[in-house]
Amino acid sequence: MKILPNTYMLQVLIFTLLSIARQSSQTVYTCNKNVSCGCSTSSVSISRIVGGENASSGAWSWAVSIRIGTGSLCGGSIISSSWVITAAHCVEYFTESDFIVYAGSNARWSGSQNRTVSKVIPHANFNPSTYEYDIALLQLSSPLNMSDPALSKICLPNVTQATLSAGEWPSSGTSVVTIGWGRLSEIGSLPSTLQQVTLQTVSYQTSTCLPVMVNWHVQFCATVINGTKDTCQGDSGGPMMMFSSSNQWILVGLTSSGIGCARPQYAGLYTRVAAFQDWINSKTNSTNSNGTSLGSNNYNDTNTTTKPTTTTTPTTTIKLTTTLGPITLHASIVAASIRNVLIVVFFSLLPVSFY
């Protein structure tokens, strides 16, 4: 069929307008490739309108998927060639031989490199009832080859104690990105490709955070106004990141817990990584196997805190529970999926056969 010139021009115009509309609905982050952390080989492009989406290949090269035991799933982040950071509830009741870490791929349990684990270090104060101190370190059996372009390390926060004492960091309303291979809904399936979503931090005093928050010094909340975006089962331990003024991605949180997935009345709960800078450095002896300092991202933000109006820890009104799916003898993993969702309280250790 012959296309008349006017028809052809109309098609070109429509295509152009659609392309412009698509570009305007994307937020593109281009990092500083001259830095030692917080920058991958590919730029990050995130939709402003969907609940969650596939991450581009090479966009998040510090992300790892962690296979636990007979097939449970958590996320983690590379902080050096020898160390991965994740959530404490992901490692509870397990030993070193139960873990396999997959790095360098957007595919779950696949990677250009994989490692077993030689040491598991959960925080000694981790509380499985309140998810306070929900942070752990995994020392890899052998260092990752960081010359692999598919791998890089995330920047750790470098925030002064004065800034942390002054109030919540990052401050309420900060735009953050979280990623993971968790469920696409509370009762949904696992994606085969790494997912990404943008959220905003909220003060612990907000109505959506009060039901899940216990200790704002070591925890914080993030959500969106209408609750259509969230983390869910299988995302636990994965990174929550902020793009800094130095054009680097900074690890500000770890996916920890919550009530359901993407429920408008409840924000998700995250471990406040900045509160654990000294702990991380002490457990990793401040350097990795080749002498590179951990957390040397030169990021020091003294102006982005929200000072709480009270120092009293709010009362938790709803208890986090473990009710969805088969519960094993290894108890709960609050796997917290990046998508739009609906019903039920989750948080149980998820065998692969359940997906």
Between residues 173 and 8, the one the model is more confident about: 173
334 CB-near residues (< 8 Å, 6+ apart): 87, 89, 131, 236, 256, 257, 258, 320, 322, 346, 347
What is the C-alpha to C-alpha distance for residues 130 and 149, in angstroms, rounded to an integer?
A: 39
pLDDT of 151 over the 50 cut: yes
Range in 21-25, 30-34, 122-126 with the lowest mean pLDDT? 21-25
Task: Name the residue with higher pLDDT: 117 or 18.
Answer: 117
Q: What is the pLDDT of residue 242?
A: 96
Cβ burial, residue 319 (10 Å; 0-12/13-18/19+): exposed
Which band of pLDDT confidence, cut at 50, 70 and 90, is reported for residue 147?
A: very high
Q: Rounded to whole angstroms, how far apart are CA atoms 355 and 49?
A: 27
User: Of the ranges 72-81, 83-92, 333-342, which one carries the lowest mean pLDDT score?
Assistant: 333-342
Domain 63-153+277-283 homologous superfamily, CATH? Trypsin-like serine proteases (2.40.10.10)
**SS3 sequence of 88-122:** HHHHCCCCHHHEEEEECCCECCCCCEEEEEEEEEE
Give residue-wise pLDDT tens across range 196-243. 999 999 999 999 899 999 999 999 999 887 666 778 878 999 999 999
Q: What is the distance of C-alpha 118 from the center of its chain?
A: 23
CA 180 to the chain's CA centroid:
7
Give the mean model confidence (pLDDT) for residues 109-125. 96
Residue 334 has pLDDT above 60, yes or no: no
Work out the average pLDDT over 87-103. Answer: 96
pLDDT attached to residue 8: 52
pLDDT at residue 51, rounded to an integer: 63
pLDDT above 60: residue 318: no
- Taking all residues of the chain, what is their mean pLDDT, rounded to a whole number? 77
pLDDT, residue 9, reads: 56
Q: Which residue has the higher pLDDT, 281 or 110?
A: 281
Residue type, 325: G
pLDDT at 215: 94
Grade residue 290 by pLDDT with cuts at 50, 70 and 90: very low
By the 10 Å C-beta count (0-12 exposed, 13-18 middle, 19+ buried), 127 is classed as middle
Is 90 exceeded by the pLDDT of residue 342? no
Residue 149: what pLDDT? 94
DSSP state of 19: H
* Every domain of the chain and the residues it spans: 63-153+277-283
The H or E element spanning position 6 is: helix 5-24
Give the up-direction half-sphere exposure of residue 324: CA atoms within 13 A in the CB hemisphere: 24
237-268 b/e (C-beta count within 10 Å ≥ 16 → b): bbbbbbbbebebbbbbbbbbbbbbbbbeebbb
Comparing 228-237, 253-262, 283-292, the range with the smallest average pLDDT is 283-292
Most confident of 62-71, 77-86, 186-195, 200-209: 77-86
pLDDT bin (cut points 50, 70, 90) of residue 302 is very low
Q: Which residues are catalytic?
A: 89, 134, 236
The neighbour count for residue 163, using CB atoms within 10 Å, is: 17
Write the DSSP symbol of residue 197: E
The whole-number pLDDT of residue 280 equals 98
For the segment 36-64, the average pLDDT, to the nearest whole number, is 83
- Contacts (Cβ under 8 Å, ≥6 apart) of 150: 41, 58, 61, 103, 104, 105, 111, 112, 113
150 and 112 Cβ atoms separated by less than 8 Å: yes
Strands annotated E in the chain: 26-29, 44-47, 53-54, 63-68, 72-78, 83-86, 99-103, 113-122, 136-140, 175-180, 195-202, 219-223, 239-243, 249-257, 268-272
Cβ atoms 277, 158 nearer than 8 A: yes
For residue 265, the model assigns a pLDDT of 84
In three-state secondary structure terms, 279 is helix
- What's 179's DSSP letter? E
Which has the higher per-residue pLDDT, 157 or 304?
157
Residue 14 neighbours by CB distance under 10 Å: 10
- The first and second tokens of residue 267, run together, are 């924000």
